[in-house]
Structure 1
Amino acid sequence: MDAKTKRSLVLLLCLCLHLKTHVCLAADTIDANQSLSGDQTIVSAGKVFELGFFKPGNSSNYYIGMWYSKQLVSLETIVWVANRETPVSDRFSSVLRISDGNLVLFNESNTPIWSTNLSSTTTSGSAQAILLDSGNLVLRTAGSNANTSEPLWQSFDHPAHTWLPGARIGFNTVTNQTLILTSWKSSEDPAPGLFTLELDPNGSNAYLIFWNRSRQYWSSGAWDANSRIFSGVPEMNLNYIYNFSYVTNKNESYFSYSVYNPKTISQFVMHTSGQIQQLTWLEISSQWNLFWNQPRKQCKVYDLCGAFGSCNEVSVISCSCLTGFEPKLQRDWNLTAYSGGCKRKTPLHCENATSADGKQDQFKMARMSLPENVQSVKQWMFNLDWRPLQSARIHIK
């Protein structure tokens, strides 16, 4: 065999390996006799969105997610994740397929770890999953029209951290379903984080609010139906590219929005920083442009830096630990996820009975504001004869 023939065989082998590991189903649907695994993906009809396995950052975990087609947005931008809390480690032995009328993700051990979770009465016929150009993954009865028929299940009813045009934020009083945005834990962990965006749960006011667990820290202000703006978002009075709408009746209340120019690629993201970000894609510079974010000041995000952490608006890194403390979870801090707070690295003198250096335990922080709802406690410290040695005023949340 001559050298030219060998080179040809090597090239043919490489091409076959490439085709084996980079397969696209060449369709926007997953039918009952199809499955998705490895590097296989489905792409919406207009090549707007793509769905398949992805790995965030340097993580070793894989997830089923949805992102903008690379033909449209060159930067990988995940907009929805199915198995947020149950990743897989091997995408080639994990499978997404239709099973018993549901869309189900099976891991390496062939164990179902995520499902659309519909009852057998709901999915009496053959089902198929279709990815729409809106970014909505729809499970429907095979042969029905995805644009006109009622879906069996849709990803728009189960948002992750991104609010796409046409999707809803609100709640349904009949199904007791709440549609909220929830941040990722970190840039490498799409599991539900601390921060959420939702419609006023009391239903008495039409406005959006941010929460850190059970603590509200920002509000969009009341909705003005005539001007179609939120009172707390002055940017909407400017050259605004969005058209918001609010619907409320006895069954449901929700906000949705569209983009005036359908060619504009845009999204709202509940970021790991606790801020909502309104982003538009700039094709010329191949990057996302931040139109506005709220709350404007990063340090307004409640408990952003965690216990014994401090927030600095003018610093490149928002959070730092108080003197004598260090990050409790350094890897999370490297990923700008600070909520784990800080731990003590210098022992208290009052914890060391043999200490004789005469130093007192104290905090000295200049130009700092205390957290909200602080309590002032005067604590007396005693020696073995129960005589007061000194007093210290401690502020706690």
Structure 2
Amino acid sequence: MILSLQIALKFHRGSNNNILISLVSLIAIISITIGIAISIIALSVINGFKYELSHRFLAVVPHVEIEPVGASFIDWLTVLKRIRQMPEIICANPYINFSGVIEFNNKWHVVYVRSVDLTKKIDENTLLYFIEKDFSWKYFYENTGQIILGKGISDSLGTKVGDWITILIAHNFRMDNKLLSSKRIRLQVAGILNLNSQLDSNIAVMSLLDIQHLYHKTSDITGIAIKINDIFSADNIARKIEKIMLNHQVYVRSWMDTYGYIYRDIQMVRVIVYLSTILIMSISCFNVIATLVLSIKDKNYDIALIYALGGQNILIRRVFFWYGLIIYIISGVVGTGLGVFTSVNLTNLITICNDLLGNKILSKGIYFINFLPVKLNGWDVLSVLGITLLLGVVTSWYAVLKTKKVDLSKILK
């Protein structure tokens, strides 16, 4: 082992005899440990929100949408063919959306109905993965008058799978705000869509073919829903599609136009967490500097012995450099372990707190999901640990350099 490191370890063990140094050192270790743990937990939660945004929320919301400027989408087959040739696009499917009012047992609820094309693979209709009960989507057929309700709607109306509901809709799906000219239809609940998000309270799903027959229009659609490889490049792809579609009367929008604020908030919080980590670590540096200064004064006798045995000034500096860095290493190991352990078990801990408090910490009426997602990222852990050790190196070496004005030769007299 390095001589300077061996001496620093002995100095650490010997510092227990000095209550003041031990107390300041303990405060430094605790503050840095807490800062590291909180940073890892916060970043894991941010990663969790980002993951749920891309894999849960955007399973329902199209990444890019193309809709006609006029009253009808006459040439949508031509547009669809051209769009599917783009390499960035995973799939592109026509859809029909409309609004209505559901009635069940004298209870009413406004609903926004989205279509799914059941002739496509399940991978292209990812929202069907969130239907409650395993493989219940396999019992969702065309031409059977079936509908899948969001869990929030189902809970509000008290419906369950197999119940028949009445839905009040406009005669034309392009007249969602004109229910005065409306009709009633009977539909059977084929499943419950549980996204654990605010969408559960207003969304329902029907077969595209059923909706077309419902409105007696098999050649018209609301628009084209596009799923892409990189959801965070949706704006760029939308602009690219606009250039391709210059000869068509359509407008293109991405999910960033409607729900981009969620992603921007997540990114802003991530930056704030990193800045907070640096700030907490920087404040903790003062405790480490104080520990080093006190330790150097306390170890005058030991320093004199090192000089007497032929030790050079550089050895003294290295000893106290390691002395300060050991504090950061201990804090880094403990803080990282605590942060990782808490992050892995945080969702369960929050669930227990919800049960004890009797209400949810995250409300789906405020956040886009109603649970606390956690996704531990190794790079974030290494980043926090790296920032801590870098500050440790700078702080320890700075404190040691500042002691060079102390005339240690007087100790030998």
Higher helix share: 2
**TM norm structure 2:** 0.20
**TM norm structure 1:** 0.21
Higher strand share: 1
